Structure 1
């Protein structure tokens, strides 16, 4: 069978949540299904690492689509032409978008509706594009996949879709993530924090990640404990990060906050492994991949009691009200002062992250492709 895939999100060294989902699923899918032809649609010259097997045929479709006007040109004009030429059996798009101008059955992954709940975090034209087209993409798709039951219910409610049209294919956690040997923990602490212990946050620096309240909580933690503990912030600065910068500048203990920017996955793994805890008190997540990545590295997790995070973490993390700096502070104090609490959440985290594998995700995606138009009866082992 012919399976066409939107792979424009596969950018070397820049894989975040959606990119990781795409990479982890596709590398398994194409290798485990050599009987199918896969056409990968890139919007710029591609990195050969993403051509995972001989049954992948890369196609570059210009122009690079990184702006709403170019989204429209790429998805509604250029892409349909290629689909008409190739006549695939199904079109898989894992980055929230698809095309309206084709009769090819479409399977679309809508990771979350953050644009709807936090419209102020999108640039004006991006916001307008999302608001106009995401509901239409959902209606036009044969099947929608999403990454949590929370997001599934949100999509069903927002777009008034039949329940069987939206299914969950949760994220997984790679075996790349693993505990950090003690000597490397010492090295990573020395590199970023002059040897001091630290809490870590991993994610794009944008308002809904709730760094403003994290900074307030960390200041309160420092005032209470008088400790030398640092806070390490890992991730790129995203759109509308001004409030985060302002909150940082207002901190009493800002000299003990370390911004790493974007770092390699190997560095992220070590930063998880050397931390007192991951503090991921986001206001809204479709899944929250750092939760299970940290747990795979034996890093206890503090996360929010909102949106998908209680579902993903279950009872394996310390849940807090993200709107309460005091609640976040008390969680920091608890995991700093009581090693037995850290040990408890490390053990629970090990059990929890076993629920999430990229192989399971791949199986569910393949089932969706079969339902939407792939006729092969072969399934994953």
Structure 2
């Protein structure tokens, strides 16, 4: 099988949700299936670490596509030319988008439909691109894969698709994530929090991550407990972060909040493993990978009742209404004051992680690629 892959999201030291998914899945597919040829289509010079084996042929397809106008040029003008040249059996695109201008069977991973539920988050041209092309991408794809049952139902309902066309390939969690040794915990707390305990948030700073409500909840927690516990915010400042900055500036205890910016995966692992708990009370997620990463590091998790997060965490996390600062505050208090509750969620988190492996994800993706060649195009 000749498999063309949209690899434009594989960026060294910049892998977030979709990037981690793409990296973990492709690494396993390439190494475990040397009988197949893979053509990785990048939109800029690539890092050699992503050429996982000799059966990968990297191809740079310009221009770099990071703006809706360039999305169109890359996916609808340049990509079809390359597909005609390499003549693949299937085109696999793991980043929500695909091309409309090819007869090659397409397998597309649509992680979520956040743009439909939170349209104000997107810049004008991004929003218009998503609104115009996402339904067409769904229609044109031979098979759609997504990362949770929540997203599967959302995609089917929103795009009026038959159940057979949309399947779930949930995220996994890497063995890279593991508990932090006690001595390292002390070092991390000293480095970031002057030796004090802390709660941690991990993710890009954008409105949907609900940091405005988290800041209110943390202020209430500090007022209630009078503790020295800090809040560590790990991640890059993403789009439309002004409201987050304003909420932070309005905090009573803003000096107790530490922003690390983007840090290495090794540092993230230790920040998980040294925290009182991960607070991931997002408004909407297609999956919510930090939930599993934290649990793999023996870090208790507070997460939302909404979208996919309750599904991913099952009963292994403390679930809260993300719109309620009071509910989040009470969860913080519970895990701070009661070590036995932390121990309970650590144990449940270990059990939950066993349900998710990247090997399972890769196997489901591979099955989808094979099926795409056996079935006719499924229309709505």
SS of the equivalent of 1:46 reads coil
Post-superposition offset of 1:364: 0.2
Residue 107 of structure 1 contacts residue 142 of structure 1 at CA under 8 Å; is this kept in 2?
yes
2:378 counterpart residue number? none
Distance 1:45 1:310 in 2: 39
How far apart in 1 are the matches of 2:306 and 2:36?
40
Alpha-carbon displacement from aligned partner over 1:232-262 (angstroms, at most 9, x marks no partner)? 0000111100000000000000000000000
Q: Tell me if structure 2 keeps the 8 A contact 1:90–1:374.
A: no
Does the alignment pair 1:157 with 2:154?
Answer: no
Task: Report the counterpart of residue 116 of structure 1 in structure 2.
Answer: 116
> Which residue matches 1:179?
179
**5+ residue gaps in structure 2?**
376-380
Following TM superposition, by how much is the alpha carbon of 1:267 offset from its aligned partner in structure 2, in angstroms? 0.3
Secondary structure of 1:286's match? coil
Q: Distance between the aligned counterparts of 2:262 and 2:150, measured in 1?
A: 28
Distance 1:374 1:29, change over 3 A: farther
Q: Which whole-Å deviations, capped at 9, do the CAs of 1:264-304 have from their partners, x for residues lacking one?
A: 00000000000000000001000000000000000000000
2:111 is the alignment partner of 1:97:
no
What does residue 25 of structure 1 align with? 25
Contact 1:89 1:374 in 2 (8 A): no
1:169 paired residue number: 169
Alpha-carbon RMSD: 0.8
Alpha-carbon offset, residue 373 of structure 1: 1.8
Provide the C-alpha distance between the structure 2 equivalents of 1:149 and 1:296, rounded to a whole number of angstroms: 22
Match of 2:136 in 1: 136
- Normalising to structure 2: TM-score of the pair? 0.98
Q: How far apart are the structure 2 equivalents of 1:88 and 1:213?
A: 48
Residue 75 (str. 1) matches residue 75 (str. 2): yes
CA distance in 2 between counterparts of 1:152 and 1:285 reads: 12
Show the counterpart of 2:126: 126
d(CA) in 2 for partners of 1:98, 1:322: 33
1:196 aligns with 2:193: no
Q: Do the aligned residues in 2 keep the contact of 1:205 with 1:235 (CA within 8 Å)?
A: yes
**2:7 equivalent in structure 1:** 7
Give the distance between the partners of 1:47 and 1:358, measured in 2 at CA: 22
The answer on 1:58 being equivalent to 2:58 is: yes
Secondary structure of the 1:298 match is coil
Matches within 5 A, 1:201-350: 201-350=201-350
Alignment size in residue pairs:
375
Equivalent in the alignment of 2:49: 49
**Could you tell me whether the CA contact under 8 Å between 1:213 and 1:322 is conserved in 2?**
yes
* Distance in 2 of aligned mates of 1:271 and 1:278: 9
Work out whether residues 272 and 299 of structure 1, in 8 Å CA contact, stay in contact via their aligned partners in 2.
yes
Match of 2:361 in 1: 361
| Aligned residue in 1 for 2:36 | 36
Q: Deviations over 1:281-331 (max 9, x none)?
A: 001000000000000000000000000000000000000000000000000
CA distance in 1, matches of 2:296, 2:221: 26
SS of residue paired to 1:135: helix
Unaligned runs of 5+ in 1: 376-381
- Cα deviation digits, residues 146-167 of structure 1 (max 9, x gap): 0000000000000000110000
Runs of 4 or more off by more than 2 Å in structure 1?
Answer: none
Measured in 1, the distance between the counterparts of 2:302 and 2:337 equals 15
Aligned equivalents of 2:133 and 2:182: distance in 1? Answer: 49
TM-score between the two structures when normalised by the length of structure 1: 0.98
Partner of 1:378: none
1:374, distance to aligned residue in structure 2 (A): 7.6
Supply the distance in 2 between the matched residues of 1:236 and 1:123 (Cα, whole angstroms).
18
Please give the secondary structure, in 2, of the residue aligned with 1:373: helix
